Each structure stands twice: as structure tokens, then as C-alpha cells.
Structure 1
Amino acid sequence: MLPALFIAHGAPLLSIENNEYTQFLHSLGNEMPKPKAIVLFSAHWESSAQKVSDVDEFETIYDFGGFPEALYRIKYPAKGNSAITKEVIELFAKQGVPFEMDTTRGLDHGAWIVLRMLYPKGDIPVISMSVNPQLTPEEQYEIGKSLSSLREKDILIIASGGTVHNLRALRMGSDNGTVDQWAFDFDKWLEQHISNWNLESLFKYDTLAPNAEYAVPSYGNEHFIPLFYAMGAADQEKIGKLLHCSYRYGNLSHSVWQFGESK
């Protein structure tokens, strides 16, 4: 059985950089058993209804601007898998999770940056999933929980986002490895409560966590909430382990959480 993962996708430049974090993601992909398929929730696909992809081969979406030309030449032509899409929607139907099919959308950078780091060959089928910032954390958790049985079939569940993601607070000229105290304190609070699987507090992170208004601003909670989808997929085990945490630009967190165990 594979774990569920929450992976920060960072800034688009990450896709052409070689640093501590990219090296970690490459190693992680090499160390984990190769999954049969990947179900991926991306912060960059927001929808009021849960979207589930049913795409034969994904286009690569460049949903950013003003970056070096090299980023726009990257292709990650992952394929879908209709049989696994069917498994996903059957689980949603069984658990009463409303959903809609999507047969056209490609992979946004929240998806392909992470996937390309882990599995550069692009030879693992992908089912792309949206997130809904309007749901409560409890509801987001339940969506992930409804898919937990996929892990027993060697299907890897990934949620892509970022625990501290405040674009207005970034210090792009400061990339020396230092971290703002407010960002560090927020992530340490998360680590404590995730390690203890304290859902009661985590679901109220916006009022209980220190500096939550800076780490998860009201205009940008879509990057934080994928965490709950990934946690829900490991509800039976309730085990959370921080695999990596580093920072760029003063406070942009590069964290990777593993939920559940690989068996």
C-alpha cells in the first residue's frame, strides 16, 4: 500500500532549478515503489464542484507569466486511465461526493512540476483532480477519505500546494536560506498538530495557528487546503510524517508530508 503525499510545488522556476528541494523530490521518486497510477489534487485547479479528469493524454498548461522561455518549452505528456477514473467516480458515488467529469483540461504547473520531479519519464497514468476552497476543512478531508482504498491498489494520492504561500509577502531578492519567523512558527504549529493527528485544532487552523493570516491569506487558501485532501486519504492510519521542509524567498515553504505508511 502506498502513502498519500502533500507536496509543495513552489514557484514555477523550481522546474528548471537544481537545489536542495529538487534533489529531494528526485530522490523521493526513486525511493518509493512505482505506483500503478497517480491521483493528484492541484491547488491550481479550483472548482465549486469536484472535478475528475478523464483525459487520454494531457496537454501541458503554462498557467504563469513573465518567466524564462525554458519553462514554456517543458512538456509533460502524461496519459490518463479511464479504468482508474471509473474507480474514482464509483468511490465518490458510493460516499455521496458530488463530482463532474472533465475530458479536456491539461495539467497545470501545480501538477506537472511535482510529477516531473518525481517521475520524469511521465510513464505513470494520472487522474487530475480539482480542489474547492469554499468547502470546510472537514469536507475536504472527507473527499480524501473517500479515496483511501485506492492506496491499497498501489495508486499514489498526491495533493499539491504549499503550507505557507503568501505571494505578497515574498522577498524575491532574498534567497539565502533564511526564513521569516512568522512562517517558521506557523509550520512548527502544523507539524505538532499533524504529528498528533489533532483534527479538531487543524480544522480551526485559521483561528488557532500562529500567524495564519499571513501564512494562509484569505485570498490564497487554495494552496493550503490540499493538505486536508491528502490527510483524509490516510484516515485509517492517522499517521503523519514530515519528510522535508525548507524555504525560499523568505517564507515560501517547500514541505513534503507523508500520510499513512508504505506497506
Structure 2
Amino acid sequence: MLPSLFVAHGAPLLAIEDNEYTQFLQSLGKTLPKPKAIVLFSAHWEAPVQMVSEVAEYSTIYDFGGFPEALYRIMYPAKGHLDTAKEMEQMFTDAGVSFQVDTKRGLDHGAWVVLKMMYPDIDVPVVSMSVNPNLTPEEQYKIGKSIESLREKDVLVIASGGTVHNLRAVKMMADNGSTDQWALDFDNWLAEHFEKWDTNSLFQYEKLAPAAELAVPPYGNEHFIPIFYAMGAADTSKKASLLHRSYRYGNLSHSVWQFGEL
């Protein structure tokens, strides 16, 4: 059985950089057994109802501006996987999860930056998925839990976002290796409670976690909440492992969490 993963996609520049984190993601893709398909929840696809992609071949969305031209030349024309999409739709129906089908949307950078690092040969089909920041963590967890059995069928569930992602706090001009203590405090609290599978505390992270208002700012939680989808997809095993953690720009976290076991 494949695990589920929460993978930080960082800043778009990650796609053309060679550093500790990009090297880790490249290694991770080679270490895991090759999946039949990837189901990917992206922080950059927000929708009020769960969207399931039935795209045959994805276009590449450049949902950012002001970056080097090299970023806009990257293409990741992954194939879709209709069988997995249809199977998920049945799982959602059985679990009482409302959903809609999308047949046009391409892959945003929350998806293709991660996929490009882990599967540069574009040889694994993908089912792109939305997230809903307006749901409670319990509801987001339930969506992940409803598709947990896909992991038994060689489908890799990836949720792409970032545990600490506050664009008003990042220091783009001070990428000197230092990390703000508040970011460390928040991520350390998460690690303690993920490793205990303490969903009661995690679902109340806004009230209980130190510096939660800085790490997950009130104006945007879309990058943090994908982690609950990934966690829910390993509900039976209830095992969490931190595979990587580093920081850029003072506090932008590059965390990779594995939920469940191979």
C-alpha cells in the first residue's frame, strides 16, 4: 500500500532551483514505488464543492506573475486517469460527499511544481482535486478518509500546500538561512500532535497552536488545510512521519509529511 503525502510546493521559483528541498523531492519520487495514478489536492484550486478532474491531458496553468521567463516555458502535460476519477466519485457518493466533475481545468503550480520534481518524465497519470478552505478540518479529513482504499490499489494521494505560508511575513530579499522562531514553534507543535495522531487538538489548531495566526493567517488558510485531506487518507493506520522540513525566506516552510506506511 502506498502512503499519502502532504508536500509543500513553496514559491514558484522552486521549479527552476537546485537546492536541498528540490533534491529531496527528486529522491522521494525515485524511492517510492511507481504509482498507477496520482490523486492530487492542490491549495491553488479552491472550490465550494469537491471537484474531481476528468481531463484527458492537462494544460499547464501559470497562476503567478513577475517571475523569470524560464518558469513560463515549463510544461507538464500529464495524462488524466478516468478509471481512478470514476472510482473516487463512487466513493464520494457512498460516503455522502458532494462533488462535481471538471473536464477542462489544467494543472496549477501547486500541482505541477511538485509533480515536476517527483515525476519529471511525466509518466504517471494524475487526477487533479480541489480543496475547500471553508470546510472544518473534520470535514476535510472526512473527504480524505473516504478515498483511503485507493492507496491499496497503487494510487498515490498527494496534498500540496504549506504548513507555514504567510506571504505578508516572508522575507524574499533575506534568504539567508535564518528561520523565525514563531514558524519553528508552529511546526514543532504540529509535529508533536501529528505523531500522536491527536486529531482533537489538530482540528483546533487555530486556538491551540502557537503562532497559528501568523503561520496560517486569517485571510488565507488554503495552503495549510490540504494536510487534513492527506491525513484522512491514512485514517486506518494513524501513523504520521515527518520526511523533510526546511525553510526559505525566513519562515516559508518546506515540509513533507507521510501518512500511513508502504
Question: What code does the residue aligned with 1:64 have?
Answer: F
The residue aligned with 1:42 is: 42
- State the Cα distance separating 1:77 from its structure 2 match: 0.3
TM-score relative to the length of structure 2: 1.00
| 1:118 aligned residue | 118
Give the aligned partner of residue 80 of structure 1: 80
Instruction: Report the Cα offset of residue 84 of structure 1.
Output: 1.1
Offset, 1:215:
0.2
Q: Which residue of 2 aligns with 1:54?
A: 54
State the partner residue of 2:260: 260
Please give the alpha-carbon distance, in whole angstroms, between the structure 1 residues aligned to 2:67 and 2:220: 21
Q: Distance in 2 between matches of 1:140 and 1:115?
A: 22
Name the counterpart of 1:100: 100
Matched, 1:127 2:120: no
SS in structure 1 at match of 2:23:
helix
Equivalent residue number for residue 193 of structure 1? 193
Question: Distance in 2 between the 1:184 and 1:64 partners?
Answer: 27
- Which residue matches 2:4? 4
Alignment deviations for residues 12-49 of structure 1 (CA, whole Å, 9 cap, x no partner): 00000000000000000011100000000000000000
Q: How far apart, CA to CA, are the structure 2 residues paired with 1:220 and 1:25?
A: 26
Deviations 1:74-130 (A, max 9, x none): 000000011111001010011110000000000000000001100001111100000
Q: What CA distance in whole angstroms lies between the structure 1 residues aligned with 2:212 and 2:13?
A: 26
The Cα shift of 1:222 comes to 0.3
- Larger displacement relative to structure 2 (78-87 or 251-260): 78-87
Distance in 1 (alpha carbons) for counterparts of 2:16 and 2:210:
33
Listed as ranges, the gaps of 5+ residues in structure 2 are none
User: How many percent of aligned residue pairs carry the same amino acid?
Assistant: 71
Stretches of structure 1 lacking an aligned partner (at least 5 in a row): none
Aligned amino acid, residue 4 of structure 1: S
CA distance in 2, matches of 1:220, 1:22: 25
- Alignment correspondent of 1:172: 172
> What is the 5 A alignment of 1:135-154?
135-154=135-154
Corresponding letter in the other structure for 2:140: Q
3-state SS of paired residue (1:222): coil
> Aligned partners of 2:122, 2:218: CA distance in 1, in Å?
34
Letter in 2 for 1:218: P
- Kindly state the Cα deviation for residue 174 of structure 1 after the two structures are TM-superposed: 1.2
Question: 1:176 offset after TM fit, Å?
Answer: 1.6
1:184-232 superposed Cα distances (whole Å, 9 cap, x missing partner): 0000000000000000000000000000000000112000000000000
The one-character-per-residue Cα deviations of 1:59-80 (angstroms, maximum 9, x if unpaired) are: 0000000000000000000000
Task: Tell me which amino acid in the other structure corresponds to 1:58.
Answer: Y
- Tell me what 1:235 maps to: 235
Q: Following the alignment from structure 1 to structure 2, what is the Cα–Cα distance between the partners of residues 190 and 52?
A: 29
SS at match of 1:167: coil
Separation in structure 1 between the aligned mates of residue 177 and residue 109 of structure 2, nearest angstrom: 24
| Secondary structure at the counterpart of residue 7 of structure 1 | strand
Q: How many pairs does the alignment contain?
A: 262
Q: What SS class does the counterpart of residue 160 from structure 1 fall into?
A: strand
Q: Distance in 2 between matches of 1:177 and 1:241?
A: 24
Post-superposition CA distance 1:231-261 (Å, at most 9, x none): 0000000000000000000000000000000
Structure 2 letter corresponding to 1:76: Y
Task: Indicate the SS of the match to 1:169.
Answer: coil
Runs of 4+, deviation exceeding 3 Å: none
1:22 corresponds to which residue? 22
